[in-house]
Structure 1
Amino acid sequence: MRGLLRYVVAAVLALSAFITYYCNSTTNEVTGETQHVAMTTDEEIALGLQAAPQMAQQYGGLSQDAQARAVVERVGEKIISSTKAGQTPYKFQFHLLADPKTINAFALPGGQVFITEGLLRSLTSEGELAGVLAHEVGHVVGRHSAEQVAKSKLTQGLSGAAAIAAYDPDRPATAAGGAVAAAISKLLTLRYGRDDELEADKLAVDFTPQAGYDPRSMIKVMEILDQKAGGSNPPEFLSTHPNPSNRIGHLQEEIAAEFPQGVPSNLKQ
C-alpha cells in the first residue's frame, strides 16, 4: 500500500507539472512561434532590472571608457530602432562591462544587454559588434529566458515525481533515481539552450541588415571565437553558446536564404 501511495503522489506531481507547463502558452509577436512561458513581459523587465547590478559586479562593474560605452549604446540603439525589437514592450539598455580579460556577452530578460571589454576589444569592426548585440537582442525578443524558467519548472516537477516513485525507505540507495532524473533534466535544458542560440543567430541575420550592417560580420565573430577557443583561456562566451564552427554553417544557410541574390554591397561591415 505504501508503494502504491508513492506512485499515486508521483503521478499527481508529474501531471501537475505537465498541466502547468502546457497551459501557459502564448504566440511570440516577433518570431510567430507558440511558446510555453509562465512570466509576463512586465515580469521579465522587472527581473532583468533587478538582476542587472549584480551581474555587472561579477564583471568588475560598468566600463569607465566613455567613448567605448557610447559606441556600444549607439550600435545597440540602432538595432532596436530599425527592427521589430523596437516594437516590443521590452526596455532595452546596452552596457559595456569593465572586465578586460573575459570574452563574453549576454542578455537578461526584459532587455538588459551586456558585452565585456574583453570581447569588444577582440572584435575588428562595428558590424561585428552589431552582430553580437543583435544576437543578444534575439534572446530577449525570443523570450528564451522566460522559456527556460518554464522548462526548468517542468523538469524539476518531473524530477521530483521520479524521485518519489523510485525511493524505497527500506532500500535508501534507490534515492539515486532522483539524481538520474536530475541529470536527464540538465541534458534537456542543454538541448533547448542550443536551439535558443541558433534562433538568436537567425534573428541576428534578420536584424543586422535592417540596421544597415552586413550579416556576414557575425560569421567573423564566430571565427574569432573559434580561434580563441584553442587557447589556455577559452572565451566564457563558449560556456553558454554552441561550438562556433557548427554555428558558422547555420549562419551561412540563413544568410543565403535571406539574400539569394547575394548580400547588398552597401551594408556596413
Structure 2
Amino acid sequence: MRLGKTLLRLIIGLIIVLFGTFKFCSSSEENPVTGEKQYVGLSAEEEISLGRQSTPKMIEQYQGLHPDSDDQRLVQEVGKKISTNSMASSSPYEFKFYLLADEETVNAFALPGGPIFITYALFKKLEDEDQLAGVLGHEIGHVISRHSAERMAKQGFTNSILTGVAVGSESGGATQTAAVAANLVNMKYGRGDELESDHIGVKIMLEAGYDPEALIGVMKILESSSGSSRLPEFQSTHPNPKNRIEKIKEAIEMYQ
C-alpha cells in the first residue's frame, strides 16, 4: 500500500513537471526588435496593460513625482529623444518617463510595456544629459528585451518544478535543494538581463546621438553609491559595476 502511494506521488509530481515544461517551451516567440528567441509569459498588449496599472503604485511607493517641473521636463525630453530616434521606435510599447521624488534611494527601473522611472537620488548624482540618456536607455533596453515577461515565464516554470518535487518526494531536503537551485537560476538570469540592457543602452545612445562613454560614468556613480555592504556578484541580482564597465566598453567598440 505504501509503495503504491509513493508511486502515485511520483507519477503526479512528474506530470506537474512535464506540464510546466510543455507550457514554458510553448511560450517561445521571436522578439520583433532584437530578433532574439524568447520564452515569455505575457503578450505585448498584456505588458502595456500591466505597466499602466502599476504606474500609480510605483509613483506612490517612491514619494510621488518630483515637484521641479524643469527637471521633470528634462527627463521626459531626453526619454522621448532616445525612444523615438533609436531601435526602440520599432517596438509596440508606450514609453513614458517619470522623475520620482525619492531623494534617498539611488535607483532607476522600468515596468513592462514602457513606463520608466528614475529617482531624484540618482538624478542629482548625474553629471550631464548624456549620463541621463544612458540610464534611460538602459531601462528602455529592459522593456524592448521583454525581461519582465521572460522572468514571469521562467518563474512559472521553476514553480512547477518545485511543486512537482514537493508532490513527488517526501523529503523536505529534496524540496529545499530544488528551491535553492531555482533561486540561483533566476538570480543569474537577472544579472544577464542587466548586461543585455547595458549592451542595448549603448546602441540606443549612439543611435540617438549621445556619447555612450557616459554610461561608464553612470556605473562609477552606482559603484560609489553601493557602499561596502554589497553582496558578492554571484549572490547579487545585479552584476558588479566594475564588470559591467568592461562589457559596456566591448559594446562601444562593437557599435562605433
TM-score range, shorter chain: over 0.9
**Which one of 195, 199, 204 corresponds to residue 192 of structure 2?**
195
Checking the alignment, whether the CA contact within 8 Å between 1:80 and 1:86 is kept in structure 2 is: yes
Query: CA shift at 1:258, angstroms?
Result: 1.4
Checking the alignment, whether the CA contact within 8 Å between 1:7 and 1:164 is kept in structure 2 is: yes
Checking the alignment, whether the CA contact within 8 Å between 2:126 and 2:132 is kept in structure 1 is: yes
Matches within 5 A, 1:38-57: 38-57=41-60
Output the amino acid matched with 1:145.
S
Checking the alignment, whether the CA contact within 8 Å between 2:52 and 2:115 is kept in structure 1 is: yes
Match in the other structure for 2:34: 31
May I ask how many residue pairs the two structures share in their alignment? 249
Q: What is the aligned-residue identity percentage? A: 43
Output the amino acid matched with 1:86.
S
**Which one of 86, 90, 99 corresponds to residue 89 of structure 2?**
86
Q: Take 2:133 and 2:248, find their aligned partners in 1: how far apart are those partners?
A: 15
TM-score (normalizing by structure 1): 0.89
Match in the other structure for 1:137: 140
Output the amino acid matched with 1:23.
S
Match in the other structure for 1:262: none
Q: Alignment partner of 2:110: what SS?
A: strand
TM-score (normalizing by structure 2): 0.94
Q: Take 2:70 and 2:238, find their aligned partners in 1: how far apart are those partners?
A: 28
Q: Take 2:229 and 2:64, find their aligned partners in 1: how far apart are those partners?
A: 25
Match in the other structure for 1:255: 252
Checking the alignment, whether the CA contact within 8 Å between 1:163 and 1:181 is kept in structure 2 is: no
Checking the alignment, whether the CA contact within 8 Å between 1:73 and 1:93 is kept in structure 2 is: yes
Match in the other structure for 1:64: 67
Q: Take 2:254 and 2:207, find their aligned partners in 1: how far apart are those partners?
A: 15
Checking the alignment, whether the CA contact within 8 Å between 2:33 and 2:90 is kept in structure 1 is: no
Q: Alignment partner of 1:63: what SS?
A: coil
Q: Take 1:164 and 1:98, find their aligned partners in 2: how far apart are those partners?
A: 47
Output the amino acid matched with 2:161.
L
Runs of 4 or more, structure 1, over 3 Å off, are: 231-234
Checking the alignment, whether the CA contact within 8 Å between 2:106 and 2:225 is kept in structure 1 is: no
Q: 1:125 to 1:231 in 2, by over 3 A?
A: farther
- Note the residue ranges of structure 2 that are not aligned, 5 or more in a row: none
Match in the other structure for 1:263: none
- Note the residue ranges of structure 1 that are not aligned, 5 or more in a row: 168-173, 260-269
Output the amino acid matched with 1:217.
A
Q: Take 1:128 and 1:78, find their aligned partners in 2: how far apart are those partners?
A: 14
Matches within 5 A, 1:173-184: 174-184=171-181
CA RMSD of aligned residues (A): 1.5
- The superposition leaves residues 133-182 of structure 1 with CA deviations (integer Å, 9 ceiling, x where unpaired) of 00000000000000000000000000111111222xxxxxx234322222
Match in the other structure for 1:117: 120
Query: CA shift at 1:88, angstroms?
Result: 1.2
Match in the other structure for 2:166: 163
Output the amino acid matched with 2:11.
V
Q: Does 1:2 align with 2:5?
A: yes
Q: Take 1:197 and 1:35, find their aligned partners in 2: how far apart are those partners?
A: 16
Query: CA shift at 1:248, angstroms?
Result: 0.4
Q: Take 2:148 and 2:168, find their aligned partners in 1: how far apart are those partners?
A: 30
Q: Take 2:66 and 2:249, find their aligned partners in 1: how far apart are those partners?
A: 33
Checking the alignment, whether the CA contact within 8 Å between 2:88 and 2:140 is kept in structure 1 is: yes
- The superposition leaves residues 209-252 of structure 1 with CA deviations (integer Å, 9 ceiling, x where unpaired) of 11110001000000111122226799xxxx75321011000001
